[in-house]
Structure 1
Amino acid sequence: MSTFTEAQAALLDEFSFFDNWMDKYQYIIDLGKTLPAFPQAYQTPEYKIEGCQSNVWMHIELQEGQLHIQATSDAAIVSGLIALLLRLYDGQTPADIMATRPEDFLSAFGLDKHLSPTRSNGLAAMLQQIYTYAQQTS
């Protein structure tokens, strides 16, 4: 397992190969295609993320001191954003997550400037869910 900082550095390195945002969007979409299957049992209102224009479900649980996150969406770009979040936050401890600032992640990738307002709101809602769970379990 890598730390948040290591995972972010690896993703930023991958993103540096692309010269423009169209290519970066395509890469994000491609990442979304690699999401593991999401259990049907969690596709219920209890796990649905409010604030997303598309349908997003997220299940988080604490196992052996680490948060394990599963999520899915019915939208390609949002699935890719979920894949980014999973690479950064899945397997981290609640304390490690609480020590990071989501706005740093957003600006490091340029997502704060290149996502539509509705996608930004959805990403913020997913981040809020992760941070709320981390705070409640730390």
Structure 2
Amino acid sequence: MATEAFEAIVEDFDFLEDWEDRYRYVIEQGKAMEPLDEALKVPATKVDGCASQVWLHPKIDGGVFSFDGDSDALIVRGLIAVLRALYNGLPVGAVTGVDAHAELERLGLHEHLSSQRSNGVRAMIERIRLVAAAAV
């Protein structure tokens, strides 16, 4: 149930042979994102449970879920970009049905992220799911 944007990332990962190239790819995805407006970097948008500073700003427009995000760590910005590709554009009611861990496993990320980074990804997914569930 992944979006086209996420499937494109999966295809790109299949093409990249070693983890260093994949790591750089994730970082580049984060660099390509527009930075989150400083006014949105407030306690209400900050995600607890991440080793670095992370902010997620969800939006629901016409029943469609999306979010913007930012982090002070390059790899985490990239992980936010990957999660945006997974979730942005879905009907809000479909967000909680996404098995994000299984989708991310297709990228092999769990094998190459530190436990702190993995915990941060779980915290971001949980925040996304809570916001979507509250909106349904």
Question: 1:56 aligns to what?
Answer: 54
Instruction: Kindly provide the amino acid, as one letter, of the partner of residue 82 in structure 2.
Output: L
Count of matched residue positions in the alignment of Structure 1 and Structure 2: 136
Give, in whole Å, the separation in 2 of the partners of 1:46 and 1:71: 13
Give, in whole Å, the separation in 1 of the partners of 2:7 and 2:61: 25
Question: 1:130 aligns to what?
Answer: 128
Instruction: Kindly provide the amino acid, as one letter, of the partner of residue 48 in structure 1.
Output: K
* Runs of at least 5 residues in structure 1 that lack an aligned partner in the other structure: none
Output aligned runs, 1:10-21, within 5 Å.
10-21=8-19
Output aligned runs, 1:1-138, within 5 Å.
4-138=2-136
Give, in whole Å, the separation in 1 of the partners of 2:123 and 2:26: 18
Give, in whole Å, the separation in 1 of the partners of 2:81 and 2:45: 17
Give, in whole Å, the separation in 1 of the partners of 2:54 and 2:81: 12
Identity %: 37
Three-state SS of the structure 1 residue aligned to 2:65 is: strand
Cα distance, 1:89–1:10 mapped onto 2, change above 3 Å: same
Three-state SS of the structure 2 residue aligned to 1:61 is: strand
Give, in whole Å, the separation in 2 of the partners of 1:112 and 1:28: 14
Give, in whole Å, the separation in 1 of the partners of 2:89 and 2:110: 24
Give, in whole Å, the separation in 1 of the partners of 2:5 and 2:24: 20
Give, in whole Å, the separation in 2 of the partners of 1:17 and 1:103: 21
Q: Shift of the alpha carbon at 1:104?
A: 0.9
Three-state SS of the structure 1 residue aligned to 2:60 is: strand
Q: Shift of the alpha carbon at 1:105?
A: 1.4
Task: Say if 1:51 and 1:121, in contact at 8 Å, map to a contact too.
Answer: yes
Query: What TM-score comes out, normalization by structure 2 length?
Result: 0.93
* Runs of at least 5 residues in structure 2 that lack an aligned partner in the other structure: none
Query: What TM-score comes out, normalization by structure 1 length?
Result: 0.92
